[in-house]
Amino acid sequence: MKRILFVCLGNICRSPAAEAVVRAKAGAAGQNLALDSAGTSDWHVGDAPYPPMIAAAAARGYDLAPLRARQVRGADFDGFDLIVAMDRANLAALERLRPAGNVTPLRLFLEAVPGAEVDEVPDPYYTRDFDATLDLIEKAADALLATLAQAG
Ligand code: 4NP
């Protein structure tokens, strides 16, 4: 089973949403994946996702409420087969945290989307546009699952 970790800054908006959206879509498609999410910061460790993010996701049928924030740790690099960052700053932070010798693929989430106009998932904690972020996360989730299905 493939293990995938989604990473953003706080682990209360984008990466928990990505985790829940990919979980729902993978379940509907019968794809068996082990999914988790984490933040590069420790700012919200132990917190539930941000309430407006929970509400916007719930309106689309995704349940973020049981998730709790944690920080990325060195052991995650060997514990997952793929690590997916929401933006370039978090991708760079992951490269700095990567233990010597580890070769786990690190990707931007929107890299999976053919012809995507942007390569970063905007942070709705700042933009306040939770629906625009969810639109991109749903697109990237479909593209990621298609890529994984092709890879077998
Ligand atoms: P996230 O959004 O990285 O998508 O979880 C953020 C949440 C909280 C903060 C920054 C980004 N913060 O500054 O507390």
1-60 confidence digits (pLDDT tens): 899 999 999 999 999 999 999 999 999 999 999 999 999 999 999 999 999 999 999 999
C-alpha dist (Å) from residue 73 to 2, 65, 70, 76: 19, 23, 9, 6
SS3 at position 7:
strand
* Interatomic CA distance for residues 97 and 118, integer angstroms: 25
User: Which residues surround ligand 1 with Cβ inside 6 Å?
Assistant: 8-14, 43, 123, 125
If we measure between CA atoms, which residue out of 18, 36, 17, 20 comes closest to residue 28?
A: 20
CATH dotted code for 2-151:
3.40.50.2300
Q: Which tens digit of pLDDT belongs to each residue from 76-124?
A: 999 999 999 999 999 999 999 999 999 999 999 999 998 888 999 999 9
Q: What is the pTM of this model?
A: 0.98
Domain range list for the chain:
2-151
Give one word for 61, left, alpha or beta, with left for phi > 0 and alpha for psi -120 to 50.
left
What's the CA-to-centroid distance between 100 and ligand 1, angstroms?
28
What's the CA-to-centroid distance between 111 and ligand 1, angstroms?
21
Residues annotated as part of the active site:
8, 14, 123
Q: 107 forms bridges with which residues in the sheet? A: 84
